[in-house]
Amino acid sequence: MSRSRVMFLVFALASIAFSTRLPAVSPSAARSMELTGTVKDAGGKPLEGVAVSAKAEGSSMTTSVWTNQDGAFAFPALEAGRYRVWAQAIGFDRPVADMPVTPGHGTRQDFTLKAVEIIPRSLSTAEWMQSLPSETSFDRRMKMVVLNNCSNCHLPANWLEKHFDADSWNTVLDYMEKIAPDGDVPESSAGDPPGRRAGGAEFPKGELDANGQPISVHTKLMRFYRSDLVEYLTRVAGPKALPLKAKPFPRPTGVATQIVVTEYDLPFNRPGGVGKLDPGTGKVSFLQMREGKTIVQDATIDARNEYRSGSDWSWGTRDEHLERGTHDIAIGVDGNVYFGMNAMSPDPARGYVWYSNGRAITRVDVKAGALKSYPGLRYPLSHGTQVDSKGNVWGSFGLGFVRLNVDSGEIKEFNTATPYSRPYDVGVDRFDNAWVSQLALDRLAVVDGKTGEVKEVALPPLTSPDLRPEDLEILRTVGSWDHNAAPGQQGPRRMSADARGDYVYTGLYWAGGIAQIDARTKTFVKIHSLPELRWAQPYKPIADKNHMVWFSNSAADILGQLNPNTGKITLYPLPTRGTNSRHLAVDDTTDVPTVWVPYTAAGKVARVQFRFDTSKN
C-alpha cells in the first residue's frame, strides 16, 4: 500500500473515530431512512407506543422515537456510528440491538417484545401511587398524606420499592424531622417559615423542632401524621408488603407517539457557573464571573453508569439531585440551552438569560457571552424571574415580589397582601401585571402593572370525602410549606403567564392539575386535569407562541400539553424513568415550537420535537 493510501486510510479512520465520539445532532425531527423498523409482540401483533431509543458508541446523546399504530418507527437523520438500539414498554422485556448506521443507507431493525410480569420499580411515581391500595377511605387518605409529606424530597417510586419494618421507618422519619425544617425563609431561598401558618396566627411558643428551633409548619405536619405514616408505610412498604396491582399509564397512542426526544447527557463534574449546552454537538461549557470578567470553561462529559441513567426502566427511580441533572433551563437567542442556576428565564427580545445568584440578579448577554450581576436584593430570590415588556426583571422572594430596573439598577419590593404566603414562582402577563404563586395559601398574588396595587386570586379548595375532620383542622391551623402540606392543599408551585395571551397558569403540585386564571379580569377560570395527573405533580407550565400550554410533571415521566381553547390535555412520554422534571423551556423559533425538559433526577436535558402541528392538537 502506498504511503498516500496509508495516510488516507489513517485520516478516514480518524474521521470516523472522531465522528463516532462526537456526532452532530440533526436539527430536524423528520423521518429519515437510516434506522427504521417495526415492533411486534410474541404473537406477531404490532405494538403502538413502544419507545425505541438509539445511542451511538461514545456519544452523549440518546434519540428516542415511538411506534405508531402499525408498530412502525423511523428515526430522524442519524450521524454515522455504531449504535445501541433498544425497545421498551412496561410489561414487556427490553431487547437491545447493536448495529452500524451509515447516513444515506437504510438500516432496518425489527423487535419482538415478550410479555413479562410488570416489575413494580419500573413504574413512575405517579403510576406507583395510583397502584397503591385504594379500597378503604384510610388508604385513599394516606396516599394524599404520603404525597404531601414525602414526595418533594424523595420521589415515592424510589422508596416505595424498599421494605422496612416500623423501627426502621421511624429511624428514617427521625432524620427527616432534622432535614426538612432546615433553612429560614425569607433569609434563605428555601427552608422553614416563621413559626406560623401562612397568613395565620403564630404557633404557641415552647415546642421545638428536632434541631432545637421553634417549631414550624414542616415539623408540625410530620409529627401530626407520623404514627399514621409509619403504620401505612409498614403495610405498603414493609417486611410483608402487599402485592402490588400495577396500574401503569396506557402506552401513548396517536399524536402522542409522533415525537422525537433527544436526551443530552450533562457533565457530572462541573467547574461552576451557568452551563451552556450546544444542541448541535452536545458540547457543554460553563460561564463564570471572575474578577469582573466572564470566563468560559469547557466541561468533559464522561460516560455515566447506565444502571443509574434511567434508560433501563427496570432499574427504577433515583433520588432527587444525586445524578447531577439540572433543575432550571432557559433557551438563549443563540439556540443554546442555558442551565444549572436558580430562577432562570429567557428575555429573547433583548438577548438575555436571567437567573438569581445569592443576593444578586444576574444575566447572560447571550450574543456577547458575558455575565453581568445586579446586586442589592435584601433577601435571595425564591424560585422565579421574568421580564416585563420594558425589560424590567421581576422575581419572587420570601415576602412577595421584587422588580429590577435594569437601566438604573434600582430594586423595588412589593409585599404580598397576606404575609408569609410562600411566594414561589413569578410570571408577567401581557399587561405587565406581575404574578406570584403563593404555595402555602392556594392563591396567586398580582401586582397591577399600572397602579402597583397588589391583590390576590384564590383557587377553589381541594375537597375529598376521605379527608377527616382532623385533616381539615390541620389544614386550617398549620397548612403547608415547601416540603409538607396538609391534605386538601392545591399547591400552586410553579407558574407563568402567556406573554401574548390572556391567561396565567399554575401547576397544582399537591392536587394534580393546571389552574387557569384570566389576566384581564384577575379571576380564576378553571382547573384542567386528567386522572393520570392526580399523582403526577404538575410543575412548570409555559405557553408557546400558539397559546398551547406545556407543562412538566415532577412525579411522572411525561410532558403535558394543555390546549386551553378546547381543554384537551395530551400526555407525551419521556424515555427515561425517574426524570423528576420540574422546570421547562419552550423554543418558539422553530415552526412547530420545540419543548425542552430538564431532568433533576437524571443527568440529562431532553429536547422534544413534534412531527405534527401541535397548535391544531
Partner 1 sequence: MNGSLVLRLLLLFLLASLPISVAARVAAQEEGGGGASALGVTVGKLQTEEQKRGDAIFHKNCHLCHIATGQKRSLKINADELVGLFKRPNINEQGVRQLIQTGIPKRMPSFQYNFTPAEVDDLIAYLKIR
Q: Which residues contact 125 (CB under 8 A, 6 or more apart)?
A: 151, 155, 156, 157, 158, 317, 535, 537, 555, 556, 578
Can you name the residues that pair with 352 across neighbouring β-strands? 347, 365
- As measured in angstroms, the least distance from the Cβ of 528 to partner 1 is 29
Secondary structure (3-state) at 34: coil
Nearer to partner 1, 243 or 469 (CB): 243
- As measured in angstroms, the least distance from the Cβ of 392 to partner 1 is 24
Question: Is residue 342 within the footprint of partner 1 (CB under 8 A)?
Answer: yes
Three cell numbers, residue 587: 423554543
- As measured in angstroms, the least distance from the Cβ of 108 to partner 1 is 30
On the CB side of 501, how many CA atoms lie within 13 Å of its CA?
A: 21
Nearest of 603, 12, 516 to residue 311 by alpha carbon: 603
Which one of residues 7, 322, 368, 458 is an interface residue with partner 1 (CB under 8 A)?
Answer: 322
Question: 551-577 in b/e burial notation, b at 16+ Cβ within 10 A?
Answer: bbbbbbbbbbbbbbeeeebbbbbbbbb
Nearer to partner 1, 172 or 472 (CB): 172
- As measured in angstroms, the least distance from the Cβ of 542 to partner 1 is 19
Question: Do the Cβ atoms of 248 and 90 come closer than 8 Å?
Answer: yes
Element at 586 (helix H, strand E): strand 585-587
Question: Is residue 327 within the footprint of partner 1 (CB under 8 A)?
Answer: yes
Q: Which DSSP category does 467 fall into?
A: -
Three cell numbers, residue 299: 466541561
Question: Do the Cβ atoms of 484 and 218 come closer than 8 Å?
Answer: yes
Nearer to partner 1, 10 or 303 (CB): 303
- As measured in angstroms, the least distance from the Cβ of 148 to partner 1 is 20
Nearer to partner 1, 307 or 612 (CB): 307
Q: What string marks each residue from 246 to 285 as x (binds partner 1 by CB under 8 A) or -?
A: ----------------------x-xxxxx-----------
Secondary structure (3-state) at 156: helix
Nearer to partner 1, 212 or 465 (CB): 212
Which one of residues 8, 18, 307, 612 is an interface residue with partner 1 (CB under 8 A)?
Answer: 307
- As measured in angstroms, the least distance from the Cβ of 375 to partner 1 is 17
Which one of residues 92, 315, 352, 535 is an interface residue with partner 1 (CB under 8 A)?
Answer: 315
- As measured in angstroms, the least distance from the Cβ of 211 to partner 1 is 6
Nearer to partner 1, 53 or 311 (CB): 311
Q: In the block, which residue shows the cell 428555601?
A: 190
- Packing angle, helices 469-477 and 217-236, rounded to 10: 150
- As measured in angstroms, the least distance from the Cβ of 160 to partner 1 is 12
Rounded Cα gap, residues 539 and 413, in angstroms: 26
Q: What string marks each residue from 212 to 241 as x (binds partner 1 by CB under 8 A) or -?
A: --------------------------xx--
Nearer to partner 1, 91 or 183 (CB): 183
- As measured in angstroms, the least distance from the Cβ of 328 to partner 1 is 7
Per CB under 8 A, contacts with partner 1 among 44-73 are: none
Which one of residues 110, 320, 334, 518 is an interface residue with partner 1 (CB under 8 A)?
Answer: 320
Q: In the block, which residue shows the cell 423498523?
A: 37
Per CB under 8 A, contacts with partner 1 among 544-603 are: 600
Three cell numbers, residue 453: 396595587
Question: Is residue 424 within the footprint of partner 1 (CB under 8 A)?
Answer: no
Rounded Cα gap, residues 16 and 11, in angstroms: 9
Q: Which DSSP category does 48 fall into?
A: S
- As measured in angstroms, the least distance from the Cβ of 446 to partner 1 is 28
Q: Which DSSP category does 595 fall into?
A: E
Q: What string marks each residue from 158 to 197 as x (binds partner 1 by CB under 8 A) or -?
A: x---xxxx-xxx-xx-xx--xx--x---------------
Q: What string marks each residue from 513 to 532 as x (binds partner 1 by CB under 8 A) or -?
A: --------------------
Q: Total residues contacting partner 1 (rule CB under 8 A)?
A: 45
Question: Do the Cβ atoms of 299 and 286 come closer than 8 Å?
Answer: yes
Nearer to partner 1, 141 or 577 (CB): 577
Residue type, 365: D
579 alpha-carbon distance from chain centroid: 7
User: Cβ of 139: how many Cβ atoms within 10 Å?
Assistant: 16
Q: Where are any strands of DSSP class E within 318-410?
A: 329-331, 337-339, 342-347, 352-357, 360-365, 370-375, 381-387, 393-397, 400-404
Nearer to partner 1, 31 or 162 (CB): 162
Residues that bind partner 1 in the complex, under the rule CB under 8 A: 158, 162-165, 167-169, 171-172, 174-175, 178-179, 182, 211, 238-239, 268, 270-274, 305-308, 315-316, 318-324, 326-328, 339-342, 600
